Amino acid sequence: MKSRRTRSGALGLAAAALAAAATLVLSACGGSSGPPEIKFFVAIQPGGTIEANAERCTKEANGKYTIKPELLPNDASQAREQLVRRLGAKDSTIDVIGLDVIRTAEFANPGWIEPWTGKLKEEATEEVFPSVIKTATFEKQVYAAPFNTNTQVLWYRKDLVPDPPKTWDEVIEMAENLKEAGKVQVQAERYEGYFVWINALIDSAGTEILSGPEAVDLEQKPTEEALDVIGKLAHSSAASPNLPTSNEDTARLAFEAGEAAFMTNYTFAFASAKENAPDIWKNMGAAPFPQVNDNPAKPPLGGFNLAVSSYSKHKDMAFEAAACLADEKSQLTAVELDGLPPSRSDLYEGKVVKKAYPGFAGLVKEMIESAGPRPATPAYEDVSSAVQRTLHPPETMSAEDNEGIYDELKSNLEAAVNREGLL
């Protein structure tokens, strides 16, 4: 018997066909599952800063887009390699990037990130420390919104050292003369932290590693004075036994264990000592980063800036999202949850920052204002590697005659800035 379709059945089939066609059209246009997803590639922060800021900024977008954090490895080299490979392949799934302050030139030069302009640029740089803006700038254009910054101070034991030293020579001499805890903790393993220390010493001595993206500066006399500091510490009784393998964590642990009277380290060391070594913490003082000579010290400068990928499919929304993720509220969240110093100078008078850095918020601000950023160059990896290779281990340098190693360092840097390629 022949089947017959009812009118309502025919209408149902027609509606289904229309729905299927609409689905195909929508699929071709990117789907209809909700607002666009802005993917935020950034290093993990253990306190939850990234997730909290992404959630708030998603809510403030009012359905325009959602922000999805894509957490990168904590290891800076691994995080960089992942980003370099994906951006080198023009990966359109990356929208916003949490960019280490040393990466701006490296990522801007090949056109991987977009410059900030207009109102959003003004908002992103408002009240931001000039030293921090410099880390977000390449060839006079701002390529990222400053988010958090960081710097080092001289941590010392107030119960052993009533008046903190002002110069590296004084730090070493005081440590040598102590009957207990007569060590100075720094970062001298062959890794980026060693380059951070060397760059700060050279800047503090009165010269720079580079004067431009491809121009080696490195004036001889101040450079040799900086190298003398490394040699003097390395060959003194104030040097820790693990000096050639020391980093931020080994320095922190040794200081908390009562083995050192002095330590240069970032702000996290204070909260860590409070939690892990309260007896040490109660006598923990903070002083300015030591001078090399009569020039003002130029402390290290760290942190993250937020950039927008040139290959994002949603650039306008990515800029809006990045601006929110780097704004005043986000920076204060980073202070509260992860103890990260804000890049806005006006926040250091507020209760959130003063609570995080009790008694030394003003010092942190002062160190950031006077900090010496690391070189801005597309050849950053080669430059950092050349310095590390040439000057490691620290015992390579003497306390007073480093002319030979200076010549080697300058030659290796000249070769480094002329290399091509980012991998």
Alpha carbon separation from 321 to 59, 99, 141 (Å, rounded):
11, 15, 20
Please give the pLDDT value at position 258: 98
Asked if residues 383 and 391 have their Cβ atoms less than 8 Å apart, the reply is: no
Please give the pLDDT value at position 261: 98
Closest residue by Cα to residue 270 from 401, 364, 195: 364
Could you tell me how many residues make up the chain? Answer: 423
Please give the pLDDT value at position 77: 85
Asked if residues 185 and 263 have their Cβ atoms less than 8 Å apart, the reply is: yes
Alpha carbon distance, N-terminus to C-terminus of the chain: 73
What does the angle CA 351 – CA 356 – CA 362 come to, to the nearest 5 degrees? 75
Tell me, yes or no, if the pTM score tops 0.85.
Answer: yes
Q: What is the pLDDT along the chain (423 residues), one digit of tens a residue?
A: 333 333 334 434 344 444 444 443 344 444 457 899 999 999 999 999 999 999 999 999 999 999 999 999 888 889 999 999 999 999 999 999 999 999 999 999 999 999 999 999 999 999 999 999 999 999 999 999 999 999 999 999 999 999 999 999 999 999 999 999 999 999 999 999 999 999 999 999 999 999 999 999 999 999 999 999 999 999 999 999 999 999 999 999 999 999 999 999 999 999 999 999 999 999 999 999 999 999 999 999 999 999 999 999 999 999 999 999 999 999 999 999 999 999 999 999 999 999 999 999 999 999 999 999 999 999 999 999 999 999 999 999 999 999 999 999 999 999 999 874 443
Distance CA 273, CA 229 (A): 27
Closest residue by Cα to residue 106 from 132, 136, 126: 136
70: which DSSP letter? E
β pairing state of 137-138 and 141-142: antiparallel
Alpha carbon separation from 114 to 142, 264, 266, 308, 344 (Å, rounded):
9, 35, 30, 6, 22
Closest residue by Cα to residue 338 from 322, 352, 359: 352
- DSSP class per residue in 354-420: HHHSTTTHHHHHHHHHH--PPP--TTHHHHHHHHHHHH-SGGGS-SS--HHHHHHHHHHHHHHHT--
| Structural domains in the chain plus CATH codes | 37-149+302-370 (3.40.190.10), 151-300+375-417 (3.40.190.10)
